Amino acid sequence: MLAHTPQGETRRGIEAARDIASTAAVKSAVDLLGNGSEVTAQDTVPLVIWCIARQPRDFVEALWTTVSALGDRDTTCAMVGGAVALTERGGTIPAAWLRAREPLSRFARLGVAD
């Protein structure tokens, strides 16, 4: 990922995320990386990458980790959830969560934008 990220604040944040242990407290990661509350890539992407790296194959735990960081939770959880969902095979999203979501439009079910 770093090979494709230009020099700048976002890259520095990704480098910092790489160096934070996956066992670190979420608050510690937020203190170093941000949590999306500034609504910028620099403040969002590093935390998202750390959350994905922390729970790369556990959709539920990855989202609980991400939401506990507070900040721009809808954005960070969408990013983490999308990435982690791609790494699991079957059973990624709990059935109860699927039942509780808003209905998808006909176009979303077909994979076509409205």
pTM of the model: 0.85
| Domains in the chain, number | 1
Amino acid at 105: S
CB atoms near residue 52 (< 10 Å): 20
Question: For 50-104, what is each residue's pLDDT tens digit?
Answer: 999 999 989 999 999 999 999 999 999 999 999 998 886 666 788 898 889 888 7
Domain span at 63: 2-110
The tokens for 103 are 């209905």
- DSSP string of 34-96? --STT-SHHHHHHHHHHHHHHSTT-HHHHHHHHHTT-SSHHHHHHHHHHHHHHHS-S--S-HH
Return d(Cα 9, Cα 105) in angstroms, integer. Answer: 37
Question: For 11-21, what is each residue's pLDDT tens digit?
Answer: 999 999 999 99
Burial of 103 (0-12, 13-18, 19+ CB in 10 A): exposed
Return d(Cα 78, Cα 85) in angstroms, integer. Answer: 10
